[in-house]
Amino acid sequence: MKAREPIENSQAGNDAHILRAQESKNGGRGNVRRQHRTIKGVALATAVVAGLLPMRPAAQGAGRGQGPKIARIDPIRGNLYWITEGTGGPGASNLAVLVTDHGVVLVDTKNPGWGPETRRLIGTVTDRPVTTIINTHTHRDHTGSNTEFPAGTEFVVHENTRANLSKEICDRLANCGFLSGAKASYLPRKTFQDRMTIGSGQDRVELFNFGPAHTSGDTIVLFPAARTAHFADLFARKALPNIMTTDGGSILGHLHTLDRALATLKNVDTVITGHGTSLLAWQDFEEFVRMNHEFVTAAQAGMKAGKRADDVAADITALLAQHYPGYTIAPAKATENVALVYEEIYHSGHYVH
């Protein structure tokens, strides 16, 4: 597992998701070399699956869960705060903290090992305990520290994220298998399908899911009183999206989710991204939606014209880099996502209109 670290860290401006997506997509070049480098990791994973080794938090977070935990908590508006590492580095996910009359509602928990530091940061703005944790999706950098909070904490997730967390076997990033045995009480009991409201007045939180996108169970968290929305990895940063098909994600579904969010969420000024280094504005989200439309439209046009996905990706990379300064348009991600558009349109039998 350690062998992966250098590859992940070399993906500047992107996060851990990319590596896995590349591994699953990249059947050819570089595959043999990677196999050699991960033999140890595979053997370890197999031993864990077989129940030969305990999945200790330290082992789970090897490499990333260790080392100094440096993050900060900043106010957004009213009783809403956010926690960010401010680095945009691999796995550096952003959290939302709502201090309510009944306790703290926390959105996401970062990688394993971050529980104590997250509680310490929250303790600098309130004496109230964390009573509710919303996980935006299954990935380890968003659920990794769930079990480092008290056992009585209420966990809220989309029903498909509960299913993803309940799997016995999954990819390392998807973070399943750690909520069994003594930790079974941490398996989220409160789930929703399309929409859920928690609390009222200043403490009201609205959860939305518009279908498969980054994964099969993404949650957009809206804080109406603070006019703020947390999009997590649906809008991870100003970059092409990571679509995790092994966790039920869909690139056309992602575009649909963005459209629905744009039409449904009202009176939002501030946007929290999954991994960005600063808060963004609603206009940034609108720009992100435009960028994604342009991407899918161009990919589809290339498909209609009978062009190879690789050639179309190169054209799109150049086009978007020009149209969206400030965005990271990684050629490898463009290639991967164009291939996803081709695949999904081919399977559905219909172009996107």
Using CB under 5 A, list all residues that contact Zn ion: 93, 139, 141, 233, 274
CB of 110 to Zn ion, least distance (A): 9
CA–CA separation, 201 and 193 (whole Å): 23
Q: What's at 216, amino acid-wise?
A: S
Residue 170, CA atoms < 13 Å, CB-side half-sphere: 22
Q: Choose between 179 and 237: whose C-beta lies nearer to Zn ion.
A: 237
CB of 155 to Zn ion, least distance (A): 17
Q: Choose between 64 and 312: whose C-beta lies nearer to Zn ion.
A: 64
CB of 273 to Zn ion, least distance (A): 10
Q: Choose between 141 and 148: whose C-beta lies nearer to Zn ion.
A: 141
Cβ atoms of 134 and 229 within 8 Å: the answer is: no
List of E strands, 126-203: 130-134, 154-158, 190-192, 195-198
CB of 312 to Zn ion, least distance (A): 26
Q: Choose between 139 and 158: whose C-beta lies nearer to Zn ion.
A: 139
Q: Choose between 139 and 254: whose C-beta lies nearer to Zn ion.
A: 139
Say which residue the tokens 């209609």 belong to. 304
CB of 18 to Zn ion, least distance (A): 11
CA–CA separation, 96 and 105 (whole Å): 8
Helix (H) or strand (E) holding 117: helix 115-123
Q: Choose between 144 and 274: whose C-beta lies nearer to Zn ion.
A: 274
Q: What b-and-e string marks burial along 313-323, b requiring 16 or more CB atoms within 10 Å of the CB? A: bebbbeebeee
CB of 274 to Zn ion, least distance (A): 5
DSSP helix/strand/coil, 177: coil
DSSP per position, 209-265: --SSSSSSS--EEEEGGGTEEEEEGGG-SSBPPP--GGGT--HHHHHHHHHHHHHH-
CA–CA separation, 9 and 7 (whole Å): 6
CB of 307 to Zn ion, least distance (A): 30
**What's the distance, CA 192 to chain centroid?**
18
